[in-house]
């Protein structure tokens, strides 16, 4: 009933006929279960809770709520505690946490509740969110809706698959080294990694406390802006959360990119990507020029170092958070996840302090040199064509290791630098899978990124393109 409908379109259906409210809800849950099974993307639905939440929202008749009656589902890392001692699973995509339950409701989920959305369930994540392809031996590996033999990207793979298949308009994911942008790009979606500190991570299963961010995935920029408006803001329970003036993202989004300066970073990003990727990325700059933007060649100092440092920081902090369970229940882990976590134990506490201190100086240096020249820059998301599920399976393919390491080449440095970024679909590759770029700005420039993404959305009209699942 609501397949491929935006937030506004769903609300319009509800307001046309209030009887549509529960029909939409039940239809969404049915679609979640059917398409979720087909795509290996669904962890669980909770129909009873969804109907309970729907009854509460409907009875209050607060029709002005920005998400009134809109059914959603999110990556399984977002906790939910129910009344009466009940709770949803909090397994982190891993057998090592089987049957563990949420002990709170994530802050962002509470904010979406207050905005009127209906929480229908949870979607597959890579184990501990520690992977870029989407493979998960325990929960199942999600399939790309555009071609089910290919990966969705990770780690917010289930979120990308379900949104791209048209079941729900938006889903939340997490991004530590590319885990929103990579699956969004692989599935033809917009995926926003916000500046760390803009969106609370309280109640979200952690991978790296210095790098984790929470962001939405959607088929259109407007829905990204609407959800970002709701979930942004200071939270005392997140130690990295900051208080800033939150702009009106929907208003800012429509201002266009005339006279905005956009950087073309040939070093690292274009040079490190396959020719078909870099060629299609360069074409986007011509479109931006046509729209009135200024294009400037830039060089990002020592950017290649940021890739390795990001991986080191993730492993170190993953070990701090999860070493105990990794050692106690090592047989319940995928071996690659286990090795990634335990590799971080070799970083001493003194080295860890140095690593964090060095990062602060690194970020200041890049921001002062790059964003004095340009307002934002454009880079590919994937450095290579999206691989098949079999081709990128580390457990079955000896040649997959190099490929898997390479996939995060263009996204990990952005996380290390603490910069906001949004993936934008721009076309298709030779296998019929989406091609995307990412727009990257200075900290807390999400309004500018949404402006640029919205301008490009109108050029590529990707909302008209739907997978045939």
Note the pLDDT of residue 296.
97
Give residue-wise pLDDT tens across range 430-455.
999 999 999 999 999 999 999 999 99
Note the pLDDT of residue 468.
84
Evaluate if residue 312 carries a pLDDT over 90.
yes
Q: What are the backbone angles phi and psi of residue 383, rounded to the nearest 5°? A: -85, -10
Buried b (16+ CB within 10 A) or exposed e, 80-103: bbeeeeebbbbbbbbbbbeeebbe
Give residue-wise pLDDT tens across range 407-416.
999 999 999 9
Higher-pLDDT residue of 259 and 462 is: 259
SS3 label, residue 204: strand
Q: Grade residue 19 by pLDDT with cuts at 50, 70 and 90.
A: confident
Lowest mean pLDDT among 157-161, 234-238, 290-294, 399-403: 399-403
Note the pLDDT of residue 399.
87
- Average pLDDT along the chain: 96
Q: Grade residue 397 by pLDDT with cuts at 50, 70 and 90.
A: confident
d(CA 1, CA 188): 22
Note the pLDDT of residue 83.
86
Sign of the alpha-carbon torsion through 402, 407, 413, 418 = negative
Note the pLDDT of residue 134.
98
d(CA 462, CA 424): 9
Note the pLDDT of residue 463.
83
**Catalytic (active-site) positions:** 75, 155, 179
Name beta bridge partners: 101.
89
Q: Can you spell out the DSSP letters for 100-142?
A: -B-SS--HHHHHHHHTT-EEEEEE---GGG--SS---TTT---
Give residue-wise pLDDT tens across range 95-104.
999 999 999 9
Note the pLDDT of residue 395.
85
Of 220, 11, 267, nearest to 115 by C-alpha is 11
Q: E strands, 176-226, where?
A: 190-193, 213-218
- Rounded to a whole number of angstroms, the CA Rg of the chain reads 21
SS3 label, residue 394: coil
Share of the chain above pLDDT 90, in %: 95
Note the pLDDT of residue 142.
98
Give residue-wise pLDDT tens across range 35-93.
999 999 999 999 999 999 999 999 998 999 999 999 999 999 999 999 888 999 999 99
Q: How many CA atoms lie within 13 A of 369 on its CB side?
A: 15
Evaluate if residue 417 carries a pLDDT over 80.
yes
Give residue-wise pLDDT tens across range 362-378.
999 999 999 999 999 99
Domains of the chain (ranges, CATH numbers): 126-464 (3.90.1300.10)
């Amino acid at each position: 009933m609501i397949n491929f409908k935006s937030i506004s379109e769903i609300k319009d259906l509800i307001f046309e006929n209030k009887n549509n409210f529960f029909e939409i809800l039940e239809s969404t849950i049915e679609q979640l279960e059917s398409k979720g099974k087909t795509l290996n993307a669904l962890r669980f639905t909770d129909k009873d809770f969804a109907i309970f939440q729907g009854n509460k929202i409907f009875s209050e008749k607060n029709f002005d709520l920005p998400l009134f009656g809109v059914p959603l589902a999110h990556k399984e890392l977002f906790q939910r505690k129910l009344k009466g001692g009940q709770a949803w699973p909090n397994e982190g995509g891993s057998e090592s946490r089987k049957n563990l339950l949420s002990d709170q409701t994530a802050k962002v989920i509470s904010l979406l509740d207050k905005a009127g959305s209906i929480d229908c369930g949870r979607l597959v994540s890579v184990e501990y969110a520690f992977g870029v392809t989407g493979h998960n031996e325990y929960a199942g590996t999600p399939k790309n809706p555009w071609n089910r033999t290919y990966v969705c990207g990770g780690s917010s793979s289930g979120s990308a698959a379900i949104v791209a298949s048209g079941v729900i308009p938006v889903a939340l994911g997490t991004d530590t080294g590319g885990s929103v942008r990579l699956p969004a790009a692989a599935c033809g979606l917009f995926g926003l990694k916000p500046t760390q500190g803009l969106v609370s991570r309280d109640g979200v299963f952690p991978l790296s406390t210095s790098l984790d961010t929470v962001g939405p995935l959607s088929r259109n920029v407007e829905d990204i802006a609407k959800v970002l408006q709701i979930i942004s803001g200071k939270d005392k329970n997140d130690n990295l959360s900051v208080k800033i003036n939150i702009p009106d993202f929907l208003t800012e989004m429509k201002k266009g990119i005339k006279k905005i300066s956009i950087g073309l970073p040939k070093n690292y990003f274009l040079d490190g990507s396959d020719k078909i990727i870099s060629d299609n990325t360069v074409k986007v700059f011509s479109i931006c020029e046509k729209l009135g933007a200024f294009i400037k060649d830039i060089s990002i100092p020592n950017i290649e170092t940021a890739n390795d440092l990001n991986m080191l920081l993730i492993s170190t902090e993953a070990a701090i958070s999860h070493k105990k369970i990794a050692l106690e229940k090592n047989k319940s882990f995928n071996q690659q996840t286990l090795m990634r976590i335990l590799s971080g134990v070799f970083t001493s506490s003194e080295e860890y302090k140095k690593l964090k201190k060095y990062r602060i100086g690194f970020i200041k240096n890049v921001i002062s040199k790059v964003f004095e020249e340009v307002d934002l820059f454009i880079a590919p998301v994937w450095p290579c064509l999206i691989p098949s599920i079999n081709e990128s399976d580390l457990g079955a393919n000896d040649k997959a290791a190099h490929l898997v390491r390479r996939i995060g080449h263009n996204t990990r440095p952005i996380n290390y630098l603490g910069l906001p970024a949004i993936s934008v679909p721009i076309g298709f590759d030779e296998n019929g899978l989406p091609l995307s770029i990412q727009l990257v700005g200075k900290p807390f420039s999400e309004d500018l990124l949404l402006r640029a993404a919205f301008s490009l959305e109108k050029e590529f009209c990707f909302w008209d393109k739907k997978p045939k699942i």
